[in-house]
Amino acid sequence: MKRFSDKVVIITGAGSGLGEAVALQLAKEEAKLSLVDLNEEGLKQAKAKIQEQFPQTEITTIVANVVNEEEVKKYVNETVNVYGKIDGFFNNAGIEGKQNLTEDYGSDEFGKVVDINLNGVFYGMKHVLKVMKEQGYGSIVNTASVGGIRGVGNQSGYAASKHGVVGLTRNSAIEYGQYGISIKAIAPGAIMTSMVVGSLKQIGGEDGWEEAGKAFVEPNPMKRFGKPEEIGYLVAFLLSDQADFINAAVVPIDGGQSYKY
């Protein structure tokens, strides 16, 4: 039996990047999926990719904006209506935002990044936890970042929001462990997704982003970007029953760079 046979998992930001990678891994392990994203076309493509590889997978797709609490309640309620429960939640939707020094960082941009990356995670936890508390079990993995455990520069909104995700994870884990719910976060470094490509284009431009990428990973002990499927392996483990006693932890997955002096 696979680790997720007959288990239901919600994934936000499922239409691309880390969300899609985790969905593929969970589908491989026979999970029933509730895929959430603001991008309807991205959701359709992710669903098609999953069903091409794992045709027996039960998938519900829900278009929702994680900064709208009513839409968050909708994706939680719709998941329960379809499947009757929520075993796991990969609370992942997020953006990087524009890069700039703090003094030049746009106030509207700061608010937008915090709204998606932190408020969206909070709303998701708030409404999923109500279901899991009533069930008496569940597992939540939030997407933080190495930018949530150290400074990265030129990313005030991103760093502030991801540090907030770390604090929210630890605080809620302390509150809900007594109800059989484990809550943890991952702290990815540079994983080769479209979001990271966009970041490199901010640094090196349309023609120079690949060279900027080579320079970017040079200080990394492993001298490379992470792969989306590596996030899939980690999140699947953290959502599984094998990781029930891992609670309030923030797990870096960055080739060791955040520990380097």
Active site residues: 158
Give me the torsion for CA of 39, 229, 235, 72, rounded to 10°. Answer: 0
The string over 45-77, giving b where at least 16 C-beta atoms fall within 10 Å of a residue's C-beta and e elsewhere, is ebbeebeeebeebebbbbbbbbbebebbebbbe
Tell me 91's DSSP state: E
Tell me 195's DSSP state: H
Report yes or no: 11 and 38 within 8 Å, Cβ to Cβ. Answer: no
Phi then psi for residue 112, to 5 deg, are -65, -45
